[in-house]
């Protein structure tokens, strides 16, 4: 099973179990688990992605590299020295 599908099933099971513990009946807990697993996994994924890039300066960071070739607005190559 692929990683994403496995995580979706685990997340859905956790939501389902939490709803059952909270006293929701099985039918409604299943429906709510299916409806909530996708948006909650998306929030978790976005949080993990933002946490992974914290303090790294983003994609355009060239700090620490001596020389880099970059393109200007018109697409022409420029050579920058840091």
In this predicted structure, the answer to whether residue 59 has a pLDDT above a threshold of 90 is: no
Give this prediction's pTM: 0.52
Q: What's the gap between Cα 33 and its chain centre?
A: 20
Q: Rounded to the nearest 10 degrees, how much is the dihedral formed by the CA atoms of 43, 32, 17, 15?
A: 0
Radius of gyration of the chain (CA): 22
Q: How far is CA 74 from CA 8, 61, 70, in A?
A: 44, 20, 11
- For residues 7-14, give the mean pLDDT: 86
Tens digits of per-residue pLDDT, 22-53? 999 999 999 999 888 888 888 888 888 888 76
């Amino acid at each position: 099973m692929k990683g994403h599908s496995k995580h979706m099933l685990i997340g859905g099971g956790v939501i389902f179990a939490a709803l059952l513990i909270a006293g929701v009946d099985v039918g409604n807990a299943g429906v709510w688990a299916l409806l909530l697993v996708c948006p909650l996994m998306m929030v978790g994924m976005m949080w993990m992605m933002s946490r992974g890039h914290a303090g790294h300066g983003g994609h355009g960071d060239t700090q620490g590299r001596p020389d880099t070739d970059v393109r200007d607005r018109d697409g022409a190559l420029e050579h920058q020295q840091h």
